Chain A
Amino acid sequence: MKAAATLNWRSTGERLSRWAIVLVLAALYLLAVALSDAFLEPVYLGNILRQAAPVGIAAIGTTLVMILGCVDLSIGAIISFAAVFCAVLMAGEADNVPLAVGATLVVSTAMGAVNGLLVVFNRSSSFILTLGSALAIYGLTQIFSGGTARGIVAPGFREFFNHRIGDVIPVLALAMLALAAVLETAMRTTRLGRQIYLIGSNVDAARLAGVPVAAVTFVCYAVSGLFAGLGGIAVLARSGVSSTFTGRGFEFDALAAIVLGGTVFSGGRGTIIGTVAGTLVLFMAFNLVNILGFNYNLQLVLKGAIIILASAAYARLGGDR
């Protein structure tokens, strides 16, 4: 009796926690509108989406790794590397763009794949392994760039991504939403998607059921690397500047967005849509702080408070075991 009631409560809690972030996003938006008229303007909303794009794109890739029950702390480093590498290969020529983008994506996927190999073939935690590889990749980026901003963005590259379709939504924001839609569909409809959830829920059961755990893990890390590379290109497209530490700290912003979106550290639960919503909550909160005239320090405090409160709320709703 009691067990059944608990179970019932838990499933309600789970359903609630799955959509909680969307409710939070809606509530935050209403609060923002109440505090400032700017949030009613479509152009400003487009701006927020564009701002969120680099972190958002990287975060949706890493969500796969998190659903597996692992973490990837190297994405900030890969974002930085991708931005510098891509800018250097472009060298200010429009003709070089396809090559530069292609090569950047190949290299960042390869970096993710190396992470995958490390995690598969080593039994220590993915946290410390990807932390180490992040250091190595930052070092590589610094060696490659000589420690300064290097490389010149091709003409037309920034203009293309910042162009507003219908004068409202920037291409970059649309790219984030499209990538998220593709990945969400893949997670829901493909066998690989189901295998990722299964491994995250119970790795031993998955292994006994014949799921190729090592191969799936490897693929997830490669995808995480690929999306970090895309995030790096997005940074370049947004700002046009490629410095060594472009992506520093992005891994934690992405982590925060993912957890806000309802993915739990123990794995097995989480959605791409949730991650996108989590990213938007984070960036809308930053914008709100800015528009109210508070400084960057308060943004940091607010970010921390949001992260702590959100994960506490999820734990309460039965989102965590």
Chain B
Amino acid sequence: MDAAGGWAGRFVHPVGIFGLCGAAAVLAAWLVPGFATANNIANVVTQSSALGLVAIGQTFVIVAGLIDLSVGQLLGLSVVLTCALTAGRSGWLIPVALAMVAMGAGVGAAHSWFVNRLRVDSLILTFGTLSVLQGVIFAYTDRSVGRVPPELAWVANERVAGVPIAGLVLLGFALIAHVALTRTRFGVRLFATGGDAESARRAGVGVHGVRLLAFVWSGIGATLGGLLVAGRLGTGYPNAGQGFELDAIVAVVLGGASLAGGRGSIAGTVGAALLLGVISNVLNLLEVSAFVQTFAKGLIVVGAIVLTHARSKPPAATGSRATAPASGRSTLSSRP
């Protein structure tokens, strides 16, 4: 829709979110005792990396103008299955991890089939799969099962020369995702599809294939996040994924993406995931009660969105949209 703003947004916004993240960190270092230690910073990164992975996958879906609410339960399922299947055996880790990633890709592919062929709205579709996956998890187990192999626990918790390994995993995944989003033909087509699916289709973009890949990215991000969460928990807790989907969406939107599609960046998403980590770390250090934390988080989300989105979208720009939402596209657009 606003192509110029979209392109500018892609480059300007990440700076904004990192500025916000940096400002929060500086403020915290100044005001909160115990924040600015190497140990604590590494903790924040370790704690944020699973969310970062999920949010990176979600970025692809949101840029495509879709949404994926199933990632939380998909993460939960991969936590449970990883722990149950490996049962602490190191030799099983690689095959099981690969199977989990394949499972994520499979769920993503199934989503894209429903959206492409049956034209189901992605919000209601993935809410449906959220429910199905939750049912599957609890049909399998209602208590923690299995044990995580020591190698996975090492990846999720430990540091090499002070650098958290989970953070390196996040960085690696983010780099690949960034290249895919900005340097490949798929990336260009993804932005085109999210901006206006019908125009993209007429311009020769294989919209169905683009949506397939977007959902596959999301599924893989969720299952990779699940591996990290499994490593941190040490055992397969069936409720592990609860709420991840909403945090991931918040991170993507704070990172400058528009839920109407066509806009978003990996750097912005990662910055926002870290910002959420810093906020919850600071509130913990200040010994704010969990209740007040929930309240504060809500206010921060609304406040940040009001601030960032009032700026990047001039109120006069109403035209173009609303008349022809292209087929199969989610209508999470800005209204009215």
A residues neighboring B (CB under 8 Å): 68-71, 118-120, 122-129, 131-140, 142-143, 146-147, 199, 202-204, 207, 213-214, 217, 252, 255-256, 259, 264-267, 295-308, 311-312, 315-316, 320-321
Q: Does B131 lie within 8 Å of A125, measured CB to CB? A: no
B residues less than 8 Å from A252 (CB atoms): 127, 131
B residues less than 8 Å from A312 (CB atoms): 114, 118-120
Q: Does A132 lie within 8 Å of B121, measured CB to CB? A: no
Q: Does B299 lie within 8 Å of A315, measured CB to CB? A: no
Q: Which 3 A-B pairs have the closest CB atoms?
A: A139-B295, A136-B298, A135-B298
28 example contacts (A-B, Cβ-Cβ < 8 A) are as follows A70-B335, A119-B335, A122-B309, A123-B334, A124-B259, A124-B305, A124-B313, A125-B334, A131-B249, A131-B250, A136-B295, A137-B298, A138-B295, A140-B295, A146-B291, A204-B323, A217-B335, A252-B127, A259-B124, A264-B121, A297-B135, A297-B139, A298-B139, A304-B135, A305-B128, A308-B114, A315-B118, A315-B120
A residues less than 8 Å from B125 (CB atoms): 308, 311
Cβ-neighbour of B305 out of A122, A140, A264 (below 8 A): A122
Min CB–CB distance B64 → chain A (angstroms) = 15
Q: Does A68 lie within 8 Å of B134, measured CB to CB? A: no
Query: In this assembly, does B30 line the interface, its C-beta being within 8 Å of a C-beta of chain A?
Result: no
A139-B292, A312-B120 provided; 14 other pairs, C-beta below 8 A?
A: A124-B309, A131-B250, A135-B295, A138-B294, A139-B296, A146-B291, A204-B319, A252-B131, A256-B127, A265-B123, A265-B332, A304-B132, A308-B124, A315-B118
The distance in angstroms between the C-alpha atoms of A312 and B111, with both chains bound, is 12
Q: Does B331 lie within 8 Å of A266, measured CB to CB? A: yes
Min CB–CB distance A259 → chain B (angstroms) = 5
The distance in angstroms between the C-alpha atoms of A264 and B124, with both chains bound, is 10
A residues less than 8 Å from B127 (CB atoms): 252, 255-256, 304, 307
Min CB–CB distance B10 → chain A (angstroms) = 16
Query: In this assembly, does B86 line the interface, its C-beta being within 8 Å of a C-beta of chain A?
Result: no
The distance in angstroms between the C-alpha atoms of A300 and B128, with both chains bound, is 9
Q: Does A136 lie within 8 Å of B332, measured CB to CB? A: no
Q: Does B298 lie within 8 Å of A305, measured CB to CB? A: no
Q: Does A125 lie within 8 Å of B259, measured CB to CB? A: yes
Min CB–CB distance B115 → chain A (angstroms) = 10
The distance in angstroms between the C-alpha atoms of A135 and B128, with both chains bound, is 22
B residues neighboring A (CB under 8 Å): 67, 114, 118-121, 123-125, 127-136, 138-139, 246, 249-250, 253, 258-260, 289-299, 301-302, 305-306, 309-310, 313, 315, 318-319, 321-323, 325, 327, 330-336
Task: Report the nearest A residue to B327, measured CB to CB.
Answer: A321
The distance in angstroms between the C-alpha atoms of A6 and B111, with both chains bound, is 28
Q: Does A139 lie within 8 Å of B249, measured CB to CB? A: no
Cβ-neighbour of A136 out of B120, B290, B302, B319 (below 8 A): B302
Q: Does B120 lie within 8 Å of A308, measured CB to CB? A: yes
B residues less than 8 Å from A305 (CB atoms): 128, 132
Min CB–CB distance B201 → chain A (angstroms) = 14
Q: Does A128 lie within 8 Å of B305, measured CB to CB? A: yes
Task: Report the nearest A residue to B246, measured CB to CB.
Answer: A131
B residues less than 8 Å from A122 (CB atoms): 305-306, 309-310
Min CB–CB distance B109 → chain A (angstroms) = 15
B residues less than 8 Å from A217 (CB atoms): 335-336
Q: Does B310 lie within 8 Å of A123, measured CB to CB? A: yes
Cβ-neighbour of A296 out of B138, B292, B294, B327 (below 8 A): B138
The distance in angstroms between the C-alpha atoms of A252 and B130, with both chains bound, is 11
Cβ-neighbour of A202 out of B133, B322, B333 (below 8 A): B322
Q: Does B315 lie within 8 Å of A304, measured CB to CB? A: no
Cβ-neighbour of B253 out of A128, A203, A297, A298 (below 8 A): A128
Cβ-neighbour of B301 out of A70, A132, A214 (below 8 A): A132
Q: Does B336 lie within 8 Å of A214, measured CB to CB? A: yes
Q: Does A265 lie within 8 Å of B124, measured CB to CB? A: yes
Task: Report the nearest B residue to A314, measured CB to CB.
Answer: B120
Task: Report the nearest B residue to A120, measured CB to CB.
Answer: B336
The distance in angstroms between the C-alpha atoms of A125 and B323, with both chains bound, is 17
The distance in angstroms between the C-alpha atoms of A296 and B139, with both chains bound, is 9
Q: Does B302 lie within 8 Å of A142, measured CB to CB? A: no
Known: A299-B135, A304-B132. A321 touches B334 (CB 8 A): no
Q: Does B306 lie within 8 Å of A304, measured CB to CB? A: no
A residues less than 8 Å from B131 (CB atoms): 252, 300-301, 303-304, 307
B residues less than 8 Å from A308 (CB atoms): 114, 120, 124-125, 128-129, 132
The distance in angstroms between the C-alpha atoms of A265 and B132, with both chains bound, is 21
Min CB–CB distance B332 → chain A (angstroms) = 5
Q: Does A311 lie within 8 Å of B121, measured CB to CB? A: yes
The distance in angstroms between the C-alpha atoms of A23 and B322, with both chains bound, is 32
Task: Report the nearest B residue to A315, measured CB to CB.
Answer: B119
The distance in angstroms between the C-alpha atoms of A227 and B275, with both chains bound, is 35
A residues less than 8 Å from B296 (CB atoms): 139
Q: Does A311 lie within 8 Å of B124, measured CB to CB? A: yes
Known: A266-B325, A297-B138, A315-B119. A125 touches B332 (CB 8 A): yes
Q: Does B306 lie within 8 Å of A118, measured CB to CB? A: yes
Known: A132-B250, A132-B301, A140-B295. A300 touches B121 (CB 8 A): no
The distance in angstroms between the C-alpha atoms of A204 and B130, with both chains bound, is 34
Q: Does A135 lie within 8 Å of B291, measured CB to CB? A: no
The distance in angstroms between the C-alpha atoms of A207 and B318, with both chains bound, is 10
A residues less than 8 Å from B128 (CB atoms): 303-308, 311
Cβ-neighbour of A128 out of B121, B133, B259 (below 8 A): B259
Q: Does A124 lie within 8 Å of B294, measured CB to CB? A: no
B residues less than 8 Å from A255 (CB atoms): 124, 127
Min CB–CB distance A67 → chain B (angstroms) = 12
Min CB–CB distance A285 → chain B (angstroms) = 12
